Homo-oligomer: A and B are copies of this chain.
Amino acid sequence: MLDFEFYTPTKVFFGKGKQKDIGKIISDYGYKKIMLQYGKGSIIKSGLYDEIMTSLKEYNIAVVEMGGVEPNPKIEFIRDAIKLAKETGVQLVLAVGGGSVIDAAKYTALGAKADCDVWDFVTGNQKPTTALPVGCILTIAAAGSEMSASAVVSNMSINMKRGFTSELNRPLFAICNPELTYSVSPYQTACGITDIMSHTIERYFTPCEPTDLTDQISESILRSVINAAKVVMKNPSDYESRATIMWASSLSHNNLTGCGRINALPVHQLEHALSGEFDHVAHGAGLAVLFPAWAKYVYMHDISRFAQFARRVWGVNEQDDKAAAEAGIDAMADFFKSIGMPTTITDFGIDQNSVERLASLCTFGKTRTIKSTIELGFDEIKEIFKICY
């Protein structure tokens, strides 16, 4: 077990109808004026917007609105939000949505307290020292941003999708009501399930000694999500399964599954290049294609761990480690397919000519390698992308 720090200060309010407490929760923290961020308006259609505004009004909380966050949130939107946040002096940014909305709120919160442009934090040119608090009402179980220290942003002027991790990014509170995810489409539900599983699996396969406790917790989360996924794809309004997936989304990415291990998300790095370059690729769908490809490329370098993964998570019964490892990768790929995920990059309408460009984006123009079961450089990443076709 490697040395680690564990810090998850986010207060989680989990359960039915919890969004109706938003006014009281914010008021209890002492805030009077907030910025409300949300996506393309589905929360208005669903009635969630009205529920939130009613509760905020009841507690006399002033609201500055900034709807219209896009999937893969854009730096331009965030810059506008920061400007408005500074002008209006809001005390907290409330995100209502999934990972994209929460990530936009995190950057807004960082930028509202900074003198520099927030992109400077992403590039590492500047380091933030403080941020506004962020609260969230989760409507899609996927990114785990509701408890995580990371946030992703797209800078379309340079076709770059990048993440930034800081303890300042951990939300103050997260309201998690599984009922709010009943209306998430089967495709988006499956994307979320893939993302949740990836957060756990990627930490599971970082190159370090086995960590029995963290390994077993990770395997537990994966088995539970797989069980729940099978139910929820048939019955989208099954509370218990939606709840399992939602709570797993937080636990998969609050770093519980990385304790004592090297923390790296190699497949996420590959996927950020893909959906950064091709905006129509949903993050989870990109992961579903890349994951089996990555696994096929690297598993020979850590067969016993892939075999453990196969046996404990997928119930593979093979005696031979290599055969077990391969069966586990197949089981994972079959599972993603079974919940409606694409299986090749071609499914996104992307041809082989993009491989070089994607590998270049991944490596920031051949200037970095990515930690994984084996170190991934430009050539290795190209090979992985080729397997995706």
Contact = CB atoms under 8 A, between A and B. Distances in A.
Contacts of A158: none
A11 B1 contact: no
B248 A213 contact: yes
Interface in A13-65: 13-16, 18
Interface string A1-19: 1111111110111111010
A217 B220 CA distance: 6
Interface stretch (A95-103, A108-116, A223-231): A223-231
A220 B224 contact: no
Interface stretch (A86-94, A129-137, A239-247, A274-282): A239-247
Contact of A217 (B11, B221, B239): B221
A144 interface: no
A286 B13 CA distance: 35
A351 to B, nearest CB: 41
A216 B224 contact: yes
A257 to B, nearest CB: 11
A235 to B, nearest CB: 15
A192 interface: no
Contacts of A5: 11-14
Contact of A216 (B6, B16, B213, B220): B220
Given A4-B15, A6-B11, A14-B259, A227 B243 contact: no
Interface string A191-231: 00000000000000000010011001101110110011000
A1 B212 contact: no
A182 to B, nearest CB: 15
Nearest to A14: B4
A4 B13 CA distance: 6
A213 B226 CA distance: 11
A243 B214 CA distance: 11
B213 A221 contact: yes
Contacts of A221: 213, 216-217
A15 B220 CA distance: 24
Interface residues of A, number: 39
A71 interface: no
B247 A213 contact: yes
A292 interface: no
A7 B1 contact: no
B6 A9 contact: no
A247 B219 contact: no
A260 interface: yes
A256 B220 CA distance: 13
Contacts of A259: 14, 247
Nearest to A1: B243
A174 to B, nearest CB: 9
Contacts of A16: 3
A315 to B, nearest CB: 14
Given A8-B9, A212-B244, A216-B221, 14 more contacts: A1-B247, A3-B14, A3-B15, A3-B16, A7-B11, A7-B12, A8-B8, A9-B11, A14-B259, A209-B240, A212-B228, A213-B220, A217-B221, A247-B260
21 contacts: A1-B239, A1-B240, A1-B244, A1-B247, A3-B14, A4-B14, A5-B11, A5-B13, A6-B14, A8-B9, A14-B260, A212-B228, A213-B221, A213-B248, A213-B251, A216-B220, A217-B221, A219-B220, A220-B220, A243-B260, A247-B259
Pairs of residues from A and B, 6 with the lowest C-beta to C-beta distance, nearest first: A3-B15, A216-B220, A6-B12, A213-B224, A1-B243, A9-B9
